Amino acid sequence: MERPYGSYAEVLLKQRYRPGGVIGRGGMSTVYRARDEFLGRDVALKLFGAIPAGTDSAPVFSAELRMLAGLNHHGIVTLLDAGIDDSLPDEPHPYLIMELVTGTDLEKAIAAGGFSARGIAEIGYDLAEALEYVHSRGVVHRDLKPSNVLLVDYGANTLRTRARLTDFGIAFDAAAALGPEETNTTGTAAYLSPEQVLRDLVGPASDVYALGLVLLECFTRHVEYPGDPSASAVSRLKTDPSVPDTLTSAWRSLLTAMLRRDPAARPPMRDVLLALRQIIVDDSGRHRSRPEPIRIDEPTRMAAVRRYEPYVEAGHPAFERVANIARRIADVPVASIGIAHEDEVRFLAHPGTDIDRLPRDETLCSGVIADDEPWVVENCALDPRSSENTLVTGEFGMRFYVGVPVRSPEGFVVGVLSVIDFTPRTMSDEQLASLVDLASVLTDELELQVAIHPAEADPETLPEPSAGAEPIADSATPVLRFPQAV
């Protein structure tokens, strides 16, 4: 049972923390404003219900509280201390001492007005970053909801409002220690994951689902599964959340993935973080702030492609060797060297797959050519550049893609060196730089194939460099630049 508030006026927890007024109440705890008498500062004291007499749960609580107090991340409200109040020996109360944060919570902010898509992405990014850290420490929040998210305004025009996570799922462990089976379904009913409702194993994927519901609510401004706790909890087992068609494809793909009923089908929090980062980058206009790539008209680019056509042969050992080196550099199962024709991409080498050509609009190569720069897609199912591509949504199941332009000496993108994996992942800057170098080796190999057929070359088919393009100064001697291309 909860101790009467008046009895705490004389309590000094750990001979240091003096409780003051109540600032919040939850299902299993009460939050007090308290005074740290030793450091002379205000803190937040979260006091849980008493451990029932006769149970041997104090050691369990002590271990859990020490673990939670060890969390240290800018995206979570700092846990400063933890312990068990045993001032009444028959009614020990676990408690947390937390940083006292001033600011409104997300629930109130949603009720007060809507957010921009960019603002929602920033809130989601802050929370995903914090949750990824928490999961890496072996902790699952289990009770993520808008009221557990504090929005902190630092009062500087150059700093945006930050979302900080609070109210960790110690209540779940407390309920488990109390014993009755019915208490094991913990958390707020409207934000429970399906596995929590079914009392299955709860892990990081449950937090992914809850974060999906929170972000969805930021857009719709209504609780997706309202009603009394029982009806709310069961409804998600019958109907999937409704993601508005008005959202961008990036948001629809991300929320749909996060809100899948099967926890194994949801993306890990790391992928959610990367997807939200990409949404923020796209919205920020950074791509528009870069210099526009030199626009090369398609007929001129195709003239550069046709120059190589008589001399390049699919399956040539040199191309197979380069593609396999790319696989080893990226540590992936599939690599390809594609030459981009008008309506299809023909692969000179494709170790790891039997696909030897594809319609150009069904590949990601066309995007690499249009942007005239490497593409790194860490999770194809969540990245708006790839989420609706048939290689991602279909049986092939591509989940990671990197494409590097292969240019002619005049600067025309004639093809793409690609590496592919079937699980989301990242690529280091060193790996990407190696692939860019390897694409230059491909240029030299293509030039070498033309150079060893001088009598067949037709100078009139050579394209003129486009305005502003910088030709490669030593393109006439590829063997000297890259002897390994021989």
> What is the predicted pLDDT for the residue at 184?
45
> What is the predicted pLDDT for the residue at 5?
45
> What is the predicted pLDDT for the residue at 278?
83
pLDDT in tens, the chain (486 residues): 345 444 555 678 888 999 888 887 776 778 899 999 999 999 999 888 777 765 655 565 666 667 777 788 889 888 888 878 877 777 788 888 888 888 888 999 999 987 889 999 999 999 999 999 999 988 888 889 998 899 988 766 656 889 999 876 543 443 343 333 333 455 688 999 999 999 888 899 999 999 999 999 999 999 999 888 888 888 899 889 999 999 988 899 899 999 999 999 898 999 899 889 888 877 765 444 444 444 556 788 888 899 888 888 888 899 999 999 999 999 999 999 999 998 899 999 999 999 999 998 888 988 888 888 899 998 888 887 888 889 998 899 999 999 999 999 888 899 999 999 999 888 898 999 999 999 999 999 888 888 876 545 455 554 555 455 444 444 333 333 333 333
> What is the predicted pLDDT for the residue at 180?
38
> What is the predicted pLDDT for the residue at 326?
96
To the query of whether residue 240 is one of the catalytic residues in this protein, the response is: no
- Whole-angstrom distance, CA of residue 278 vs CA of residue 362: 22
- Whole-angstrom distance, CA of residue 225 vs CA of residue 77: 27
- Whole-angstrom distance, CA of residue 195 vs CA of residue 205: 9
Domains and CATH numbers, the chain: 8-99 (3.30.200.20), 103-287 (1.10.510.10), 298-453 (3.30.450.40)
> What is the predicted pLDDT for the residue at 251?
92
The structure tokens listed for 61 are: 């609580």
- Whole-angstrom distance, CA of residue 311 vs CA of residue 306: 10
Tell me how far the alpha carbon of residue 77 is from its chain's centroid. Answer: 21
- Whole-angstrom distance, CA of residue 108 vs CA of residue 148: 11
Which one of the listed residues 85, 105, 143, 383 is annotated catalytic? 143
> What is the predicted pLDDT for the residue at 170?
46
> What is the predicted pLDDT for the residue at 325?
96
> What is the predicted pLDDT for the residue at 290?
40
> What is the predicted pLDDT for the residue at 157?
62
